[in-house]
């Protein structure tokens, strides 16, 4: 027999001090579960029994299997053991509602005279509530995780079996405390509301991601034991350490994010999870089930005295135009024109400096304003408000002049009424930015802006409406797609008011008043859903005679879940062009970000050198096309075929692919947000010396000599990396939630729903892991003078 296989078979721990307590606990629980099931069958189901016993089996596997022995030789195996102890076994045990079954499974005398009085002791209950408080539980869980992986303590646990057992006890104990407020095993109640468990779990995921990344990307072995241990597999100690980090990283994030999705679902659909007896008790219906004995009364009833709150009527939706002082300003045409003129003057300054100024990007306005500051500000605006750039777009002013001169009446050709031109231009724009170094060429940046002004003016001078914005502008399409994850939407306040309106001024405008022209993108407000194709120009707000349109709060991504007929857009599921647009923007976000990663650039240079190329032009082109074009063309149809097979071919292939692809929009937005915020936060000061140089060239030093030190990238704030991880986590979570909700519209049954969404989950998780890897790599500090 192979020595390695023989070592595995001989490494099982048969110590009765390990397996006997687990076996005894399982037997006591089974006895108590039978007792409780006879009295409360709707609560103590067979799933509860299976969950608890599976949790015990997981503990036995972690502690008695070869994982425990091989953990002294391989860090990756040891991390697998820790995942089972801290992230798998505890929630399974708590899902079995172990409190009352373990209590009622004990002999009656023990329960009444020994355990019962002790549990009913008020001081002990106060201590228990303190230990399971979310703040203490999260702190204890985090401290235990990090402290025991400090090399000194970790090596101590490896060398001394007693300390190793203490480590495992603390891991299991703090993990049970951590998962307690998340699962709330009956009859306990968390002091925090259910929604508070979402940031609670996200914080745990962030610390786990940082912890795992430290192992994955550390350049030398951390623990001396593994550096000198015999290699029983074909991995070096450093490779084993990287695998260990990945094991803690990906499964750990999934384990933390899955209950977040469950809690979100319960908040959005409370009737699916709220126990019926709670609801009845809250409204004065039948009482809670009778308690079995005095001990049960003394322990359970105090925790059940106050039932969960019954949801109340929702408050009036938040409307930015109803905010005193802000609403009149936002809806004012003068305010919009002022913003447009300011941005137009800045665009002119950027163009002139790009053509006439120095060709060094960090010294030129064309190198810092568009690629560092403008991008950072617009993604923040999308995150916090909506499509603010299109609302103040400077390209609108020359096109307005063209419309007044030529007075166009012909519509945009019907055969071009799609996003395919914009998709092609978007791919070209991203390729130019990445491969031709658009970000590093002020001269080329200036000509791109000039081309934009000319295209917008020419197109809208010959075609009525906003044809350039709707069908051509790649920047506009970027904002349309990303705004689907924004928290605000321009829509009607009261649909009944619109049903009695006969003029439809919101789309046709008010006759005789060109300033109240209505929507140029043909979005009829009563039938408008979501932010797709909406420029936030607020022409419909000004034209509405009933003041019935506002900027209302909306859950991010909500309009991607359903597929009704939308004004001027139609059904999303019928639009291959929209699916292609979202795919390019999602995969393009990762292609754009990975192009600035140091290891990738080094690899491209090495490949070019091996092929005897003087530049990386063709290598960079193929890398970009592989991620932004080839990957979505290969992966998305394949996922669609897998999902369609699960549906029994009852759902159209195009419907599945397009709708599921649209579900990736929040994840793509998260990657764009992380990338652009990184440059904005670390390089915000570059604008100062660039403006100082411009005024110096004009012959004045009123703003002082250029402070070129500010053109260098600043230090990365300590809060930025956790924020980036959180944003990617939220983007992945929202995308998976949207796709799951879409899958529920295709099939019925939890297994089939999960089978439909599984291939898309794998793609999303793959992109998420790639994004996490990117943000932990050394970045190319574009638009700065490197120190």
Between 411 and 297, whose confidence is greater? 411
42 confidence band (pLDDT: 50, 70, 90) = confident
Separation CA 733–CA 263 (nearest Å): 12
Cα dihedral 432, 438, 443, 447, rounded to 10, equals 40
Q: How many residues does the chain have?
A: 787
User: For the chain, first and last CA: distance in Å?
Assistant: 59
Separation CA 103–CA 46 (nearest Å): 18
Q: What is the pLDDT of residue 421?
A: 95
Helix, coil or strand: residue 771: helix
Between 454 and 255, whose confidence is greater? 454
Helix axes 598-610, 617-625, angle to 10 degrees: 120
178, burial (CB in 10 Å: exposed 0-12, middle 13-18, buried 19+): buried
pLDDT in tens, 253-294: 888 888 887 777 666 554 444 333 333 332 233 333 433 434
484 confidence band (pLDDT: 50, 70, 90) = very high
Helix, coil or strand: residue 657: helix
Q: Cis (ω within 30 of 0) for the bond into 187?
A: yes
Q: Which residues contact 751 (CB under 8 A, 6 or more apart)?
A: none
Q: What is the pLDDT of residue 784?
A: 54
pLDDT in tens, 109-134: 666 666 666 666 666 677 777 888 88
Q: What is the pLDDT of residue 311?
A: 37
CB atoms within 10 A of CB 241: 27
Say if CB 659 and CB 583 are below 8 A apart.
Answer: no
Say if CB 544 and CB 503 are below 8 A apart.
Answer: no
694 closest CA partner among 370, 444, 357: 357
781 confidence band (pLDDT: 50, 70, 90) = low
659 closest CA partner among 782, 768, 757: 757
CA atoms within 13 A on the CB side of 181: 27
Q: What percent of the chain has pLDDT over 90?
A: 31
Task: Calculate mean pLDDT across residues 368-391.
Answer: 90
Q: What is the pLDDT of residue 771?
A: 92
pLDDT in tens, 66-97: 777 777 788 888 888 888 988 899 999 888 88
Tell me the β-bridge partners of 124. Answer: none
Average pLDDT, the chain: 83
pLDDT in tens, 302-316: 333 333 333 333 445
Say if CB 545 and CB 498 are below 8 A apart.
Answer: no
How far from the centroid of its chain's Cα atoms is residue 283's Cα? 38
b/e string for 499-508 if b means 16 or more Cβ within 10 A? eebeeebbbe
Q: What percent of the chain has pLDDT over 70?
A: 88
How far from the centroid of its chain's Cα atoms is residue 520's Cα? 33
Give residue 236's region: left, alpha or beta (phi > 0; psi -120 to 50). beta
148 closest CA partner among 176, 179, 169: 169
Say if CB 539 and CB 525 are below 8 A apart.
Answer: no
Separation CA 563–CA 434 (nearest Å): 35
Backbone φ, ψ for residue 435 (5° rounding) = -90, -45
Q: What is the pLDDT of residue 434?
A: 87
Residue 623 has pLDDT above 50, yes or no: yes
Separation CA 391–CA 486 (nearest Å): 15
What letter does residue 557 receive in the DSSP assignment?
T
| Extents of the domains making up the chain | 13-304, 320-560, 577-775
Separation CA 257–CA 732 (nearest Å): 9
Report pTM: 0.72
pLDDT in tens, 194-218: 778 888 888 888 888 888 888 877 7
417 confidence band (pLDDT: 50, 70, 90) = very high
Task: Calculate mean pLDDT across residues 727-740.
Answer: 89
Separation CA 121–CA 118 (nearest Å): 5
The 3-class SS string of 176-199 reads: HHHHHHHHCCCCCCCCCCHHHHHH
Say if CB 211 and CB 145 are below 8 A apart.
Answer: yes
CB atoms within 10 A of CB 129: 15
- Among the residue ranges 134-138, 592-596, 710-714, the one predicted with the least confidence is 710-714
Residue 138 has pLDDT above 90, yes or no: no
C-alpha distance from residue 515 to each of 510, 540, 543 (Å): 9, 11, 8
Residue 785 has pLDDT above 70, yes or no: no
Rg (alpha carbons) of the chain, rounded to whole number: 30
CA atoms within 13 A on the CB side of 189: 14
Say if CB 254 and CB 204 are below 8 A apart.
Answer: no
């Amino acid at each position: 027999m192979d020595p390695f296989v023989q070592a595995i078979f001989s490494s099982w721990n048969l110590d009765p001090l390990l397996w006997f307590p687990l076996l005894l606990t399982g037997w006591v629980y089974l006895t108590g579960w039978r007792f409780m099931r006879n009295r409360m069958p709707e609560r103590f189901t067979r799933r509860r029994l299976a969950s608890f016993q599976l949790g015990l089996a997981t503990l036995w596997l972690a502690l008695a299997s070869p994982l425990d022995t091989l953990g002294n030789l391989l860090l990756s195996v040891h991390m697998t053991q820790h995942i089972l102890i801290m992230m798998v076994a505890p929630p399974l045990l708590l899902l079995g509602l172990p409190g009352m079954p373990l209590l009622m499974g004990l002999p009656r005398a023990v329960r009444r005279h020994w355990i019962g009085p002790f549990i009913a002791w008020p001081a002990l209950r106060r201590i228990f509530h303190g230990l399971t408080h979310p703040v203490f539980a999260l702190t204890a869980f985090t401290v235990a995780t990090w402290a025991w992986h400090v090399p000194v303590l970790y090596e101590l646990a490896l060398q001394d079996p007693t300390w190793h057992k203490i480590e495992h006890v603390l891991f299991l104990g703090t993990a049970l405390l951590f998962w307690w407020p998340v699962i709330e095993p009956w009859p306990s109640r968390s002091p925090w509301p259910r929604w508070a468990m979402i940031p609670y779990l996200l914080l745990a995921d962030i610390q786990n991601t940082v912890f795992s990344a430290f192992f994955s990307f550390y350049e030398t072995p951390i623990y001396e034991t593994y550096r000198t241990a015999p290699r029983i597999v074909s991995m070096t100690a450093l490779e084993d350490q990287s695998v260990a980090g990945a094991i803690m990283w990906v499964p750990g994030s999934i384990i933390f994010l899955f209950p977040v999705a469950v809690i979100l679902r319960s908040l959005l659909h409370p009737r699916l999870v709220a126990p019926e007896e709670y609801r009845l008790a809250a409204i004065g219906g039948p009482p809670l089930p009778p308690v079995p004995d005095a001990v049960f009364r003394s322990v359970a009833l105090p925790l059940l005295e106050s039932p969960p709150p019954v949801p109340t009527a929702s408050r009036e939706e938040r409307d930015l135009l109803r905010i005193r002082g802000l609403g009149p300003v936002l809806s004012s045409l003068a305010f919009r024109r002022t913003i447009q003129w300011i941005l137009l003057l800045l665009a002119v300054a950027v163009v002139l400096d790009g053509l006439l100024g120095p060709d060094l990007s960090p010294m030129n306005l064309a190198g810092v304003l568009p690629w560092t500051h403008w991008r950072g500000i617009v993604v923040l605006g999308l995150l916090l408000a909506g499509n603010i750039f299109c609302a103040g777009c400077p390209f609108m002013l020359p096109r307005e002049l063209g419309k007044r001169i030529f007075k166009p009446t012909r519509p945009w050709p019907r055969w071009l009424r799609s996003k395919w031109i914009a998709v092609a231009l978007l791919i070209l724009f991203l390729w130019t930015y990445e491969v031709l170094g658009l970000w590093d060429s002020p001269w080329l940046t200036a000509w791109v802006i000039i081309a934009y002004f000319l295209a917008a003016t020419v197109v809208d001078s010959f075609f009525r409406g906003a044809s350039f914005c709707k069908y051509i502008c790649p920047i506009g399409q970027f904002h349309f797609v990303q705004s689907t994850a924004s928290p605000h939407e321009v829509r009607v306040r009261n649909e009944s008011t619109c049903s009695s309106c006969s003029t439809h001024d919101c789309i046709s405008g008010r006759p005789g008043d060109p300033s109240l022209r209505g929507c140029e993108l043909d979005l009829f407000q009563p039938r408008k859903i979501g932010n797709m194709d909406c420029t936030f120009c607020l022409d419909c707000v000004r034209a509405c005679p009933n003041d019935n349109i506002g900027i209302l709060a909306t859950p991010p991504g909500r309009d991607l879940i359903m597929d009704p007929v939308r004004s001027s857009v139609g059904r999303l599921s019928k639009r291959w062009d929209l699916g292609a647009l979202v795919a390019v923007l999602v995969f393009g976000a990762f292609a754009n970000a990975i192009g600035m990663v140091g290891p990738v650039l080094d690899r491209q240079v090495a490949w070019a050198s091996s092929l005897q190329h003087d530049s990386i032009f063709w290598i960079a082109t193929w890398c970009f096309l592989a991620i932004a074009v080839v990957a979505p063309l290969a992966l998305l149809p394949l996922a669609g075929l897998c999902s369609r097979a699960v549906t029994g071919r009852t759902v159209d292939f195009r419907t599945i692919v397009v709708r599921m692809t649209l579900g990736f929009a929040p994840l793509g937005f998260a990657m764009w947000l992380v990338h652009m915020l990184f440059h904005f936060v670390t390089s915000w000061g570059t604008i100062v010396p660039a403006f100082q140089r411009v005024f110096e060239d004009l012959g004045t030093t009123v703003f002082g000599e250029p402070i070129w030190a500010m053109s260098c990238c600043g230090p990365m704030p300590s809060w930025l990396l956790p924020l980036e991880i959180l944003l990617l986590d939220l983007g992945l979570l929202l995308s998976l939630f949207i796709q799951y909700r879409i899958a529920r519209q295709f099939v019925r049954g939890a297994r089939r729903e999960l089978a439909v969404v599984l291939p898309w989950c794998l793609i999303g998780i793959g992109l998420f892991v790639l994004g996490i890897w990117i943000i932990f790599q050394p970045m190319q500090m574009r638009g700065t003078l490197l120190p």
